[in-house]
Protein backbone atom coordinates (compact mmCIF):
# COMPACT_ATOMS: atom_id res chain seq x y z
CA UNK A 1 0.00 0.00 0.00
CA UNK A 2 1.45 3.38 -1.00
CA UNK A 3 1.69 6.00 1.69
CA UNK A 4 1.10 9.73 1.89
CA UNK A 5 2.86 11.99 4.37
CA UNK A 6 0.82 14.91 5.68
CA UNK A 7 2.48 17.92 7.31
CA UNK A 8 0.78 20.78 9.21
CA UNK A 9 -2.58 19.82 7.77
CA UNK A 10 -5.79 21.51 8.87
CA UNK A 11 -7.80 18.77 10.66
CA UNK A 12 -10.84 19.08 8.37
CA UNK A 13 -8.67 18.96 5.27
CA UNK A 14 -6.78 15.97 6.69
CA UNK A 15 -10.06 14.05 7.06
CA UNK A 16 -11.01 14.79 3.44
CA UNK A 17 -7.58 13.67 2.24
CA UNK A 18 -7.74 10.51 4.38
CA UNK A 19 -11.14 9.59 2.91
CA UNK A 20 -9.95 10.14 -0.67
CA UNK A 21 -6.72 8.25 0.03
CA UNK A 22 -8.49 5.32 1.68
CA UNK A 23 -10.84 4.94 -1.29
CA UNK A 24 -7.83 4.74 -3.60
CA UNK A 25 -5.82 2.36 -1.41
CA UNK A 26 -3.38 4.82 0.17
CA UNK A 27 -2.36 5.01 3.80
CA UNK A 28 -1.93 8.51 5.31
CA UNK A 29 0.67 9.31 7.93
CA UNK A 30 0.33 12.63 9.75
CA UNK A 31 3.83 13.76 10.63
CA UNK A 32 4.23 15.85 13.81
CA UNK A 33 6.25 19.09 13.64
CA UNK A 34 9.09 17.62 15.70
CA UNK A 35 9.75 15.09 12.90
CA UNK A 36 10.00 17.62 10.05
CA UNK A 37 13.79 17.41 10.19
CA UNK A 38 13.72 13.62 9.60
CA UNK A 39 14.64 12.22 6.15
CA UNK A 40 11.61 11.28 4.02
CA UNK A 41 12.95 7.72 3.67
CA UNK A 42 12.98 7.33 7.46
CA UNK A 43 9.45 8.75 7.78
CA UNK A 44 8.31 6.11 5.28
CA UNK A 45 10.23 3.35 7.11
CA UNK A 46 12.45 2.61 4.11
CA UNK A 47 15.59 0.54 4.79
CA UNK A 48 18.87 2.42 5.06
CA UNK A 49 17.43 5.65 6.47
CA UNK A 50 17.90 6.73 10.06
CA UNK A 51 15.20 8.46 12.09
CA UNK A 52 17.63 11.10 13.35
CA UNK A 53 15.96 14.49 13.03
CA UNK A 54 17.31 18.01 13.10
CA UNK A 55 15.00 19.47 15.78
CA UNK A 56 15.55 23.06 14.60
CA UNK A 57 14.51 22.26 11.04
CA UNK A 58 10.80 22.91 10.64
CA UNK A 59 8.14 24.75 8.65
CA UNK A 60 4.55 25.91 9.05
CA UNK A 61 3.04 25.38 5.59
CA UNK A 62 0.74 22.51 4.70
CA UNK A 63 2.59 19.94 2.64
CA UNK A 64 1.69 16.56 1.18
CA UNK A 65 4.28 14.02 0.02
CA UNK A 66 3.26 10.93 -1.94
CA UNK A 67 5.29 7.76 -1.99
CA UNK A 68 3.97 7.19 -5.54
CA UNK A 69 2.32 9.68 -7.89
CA UNK A 70 -1.45 9.44 -8.13
CA UNK A 71 -3.33 11.88 -10.34
CA UNK A 72 -6.55 10.20 -9.16
CA UNK A 73 -5.77 11.18 -5.58
CA UNK A 74 -4.96 14.76 -6.57
CA UNK A 75 -8.21 14.96 -8.55
CA UNK A 76 -10.20 13.55 -5.61
CA UNK A 77 -8.57 16.02 -3.22
CA UNK A 78 -9.37 18.95 -5.51
CA UNK A 79 -12.98 17.76 -5.94
CA UNK A 80 -13.47 17.51 -2.16
CA UNK A 81 -12.03 20.97 -1.51
CA UNK A 82 -8.83 19.62 0.02
CA UNK A 83 -6.21 20.87 -2.43
CA UNK A 84 -2.71 21.41 -1.04
CA UNK A 85 -0.31 23.93 -2.59
CA UNK A 86 2.94 22.24 -1.58
CA UNK A 87 3.00 18.65 -2.79
CA UNK A 88 5.66 16.29 -4.04
CA UNK A 89 6.47 12.70 -4.86
CA UNK A 90 9.34 10.85 -3.18
CA UNK A 91 12.12 10.22 -5.69
CA UNK A 92 15.60 8.75 -5.53
CA UNK A 93 16.84 12.35 -5.56
CA UNK A 94 14.82 13.61 -2.54
CA UNK A 95 14.32 10.46 -0.43
CA UNK A 96 17.27 11.43 1.78
CA UNK A 97 16.06 15.00 2.27
CA UNK A 98 14.24 16.09 5.38
CA UNK A 99 10.67 17.26 5.00
CA UNK A 100 11.91 20.76 5.83
CA UNK A 101 14.49 20.61 3.00
CA UNK A 102 11.79 19.46 0.59
CA UNK A 103 9.48 22.27 1.75
CA UNK A 104 12.21 24.86 1.10
CA UNK A 105 12.79 23.46 -2.39
CA UNK A 106 9.06 23.44 -3.19
CA UNK A 107 8.83 27.07 -2.04
CA UNK A 108 11.75 28.04 -4.31
CA UNK A 109 10.15 26.24 -7.27
CA UNK A 110 6.78 27.87 -6.57
CA UNK A 111 8.36 31.34 -6.41
CA UNK A 112 10.30 30.72 -9.63
CA UNK A 113 7.11 29.64 -11.41
CA UNK A 114 5.30 32.74 -10.15
CA UNK A 115 8.04 34.96 -11.60
CA UNK A 116 7.76 33.22 -14.99
CA UNK A 117 3.99 33.65 -15.29
CA UNK A 118 2.58 36.73 -16.96
CA UNK A 119 1.33 39.28 -14.39
CA UNK A 120 -2.32 38.61 -15.29
CA UNK A 121 -1.96 34.94 -14.31
CA UNK A 122 -0.31 35.67 -10.95
CA UNK A 123 -3.46 37.06 -9.38
CA UNK A 124 -6.01 34.78 -7.78
CA UNK A 125 -8.80 33.98 -10.31
CA UNK A 126 -11.58 34.75 -7.79
CA UNK A 127 -10.24 38.07 -6.55
CA UNK A 128 -11.48 41.24 -8.18
CA UNK A 129 -9.02 43.76 -9.54
CA UNK A 130 -8.89 47.13 -7.83
Per residue in 56-93, pLDDT (tens digit) is 678 999 999 999 999 999 999 999 999 998 999 999 99
Which DSSP symbol is given to 33?
G
Question: In terms of C-beta density within 10 A (0-12 exposed, 13-18 middle, 19 or more buried), how is residue 40 classed?
Answer: buried
pLDDT of residue 124: 56
Summarize the confidence of residues 18-35 as an average pLDDT. 94
Residue 25: what pLDDT? 94
Q: What is the DSSP string of 67-103?
A: SS--HHHHHHHHHTT---SEEEE--TTTTTSBHHHHH
CB 66 within 8 A of CB 4: yes
Residue 127 pLDDT greater than 60, yes or no: no
pLDDT for 43 equals 94
Amino acid sequence: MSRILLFNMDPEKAVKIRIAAYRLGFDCLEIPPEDQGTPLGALLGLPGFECAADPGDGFAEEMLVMEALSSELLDAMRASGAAVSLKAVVTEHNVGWSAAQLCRELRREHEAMQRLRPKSQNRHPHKKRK
